[in-house]
Amino acid sequence: MTLICGIDEAARGPLIGSMFIVGTMFEEKSLQKLKELGVKDSKLLKHSKRIELEKEIKKIAEKIKIIEVKPKEIDEAVESESGLNLNWLEALKQAEIINELKPDRAVIDCPSTNLEAYTAYLKKHIKKDVLSKLHLVVEHKADFNFLECASASIIAKCERESYIEKLHRQYGNLGSGYPSDPRTIEFLNNNWDKHPEIFRKTWETYKRVASTKTQKSLGDY
């Protein structure tokens, strides 16, 4: 039995909330079932279809591992003086998934432009006994080209959407959480200092608003 794992993420870019990294592992023969279901890169699907497919993927998968990376951990990686950054943080989480699931083959949707350096860094953090039996594939757009990665991207997107709904219930209408969303920017302007736990403070959009508001408040004295 050959076990194949696809790994992908959702929410690298928003200034509000966590990033989700997901590994979905299948028997090789089950990939045909994913194809028959219409599994494809989550960006090509309506959310209602993602929710429908998520249930089916969970029935077919041997194992699924979901990691939530909170804003604080993302900020610490971006600000790290030890050379950690968002790409390396993602690689560490991918290695964690591989070490736990122990697949025969792992297909990674790579966030870095430098495939060679990324692959080397990833391999450094995979346990030797796991790596010795592992066929590792690291590619750009793997979620478009590999069903196992597309499955991971669907689960990750569903996790993120469910999480954003919870934030809406808890904090009010914060939009999509992305800097391009006017509702998110309005929420940021009104709440930048009230809910520090949900903002990625290393994002330029956040820094710009925080700096402007701080200067304005100092000018009031």
Contact 4, 108 (CB under 8 A): no
Rounded CA-CA distance 190/170 in Å is 15
| 10-residue mean pLDDT series, the chain (221 residues) | 97 97 97 96 94 97 98 96 92 98 97 95 98 97 95 97 98 97 97 96 96 71 45
At 82 the pLDDT is: 84
Q: Which domains does the chain have, with CATH numbers?
A: 3-167 (3.30.420.10), 171-213 (1.10.10.460)
How many other C-beta atoms can be found within 10 angstroms of the C-beta atom of residue 182? 8
Cα separation, 47 vs 35, whole angstroms: 18
pLDDT at residue 221, as a whole number: 45
User: 132 φ, ψ to 5°?
Assistant: -65, -25
pLDDT at position 167 is: 98
DSSP string, 21-66: EEEEEEEGGGHHHHHHHT---GGGS-HHHHHHHHHHHHHH-SEEEE
Q: What's the whole-model pTM score?
A: 0.94
pLDDT for residue 215 = 76
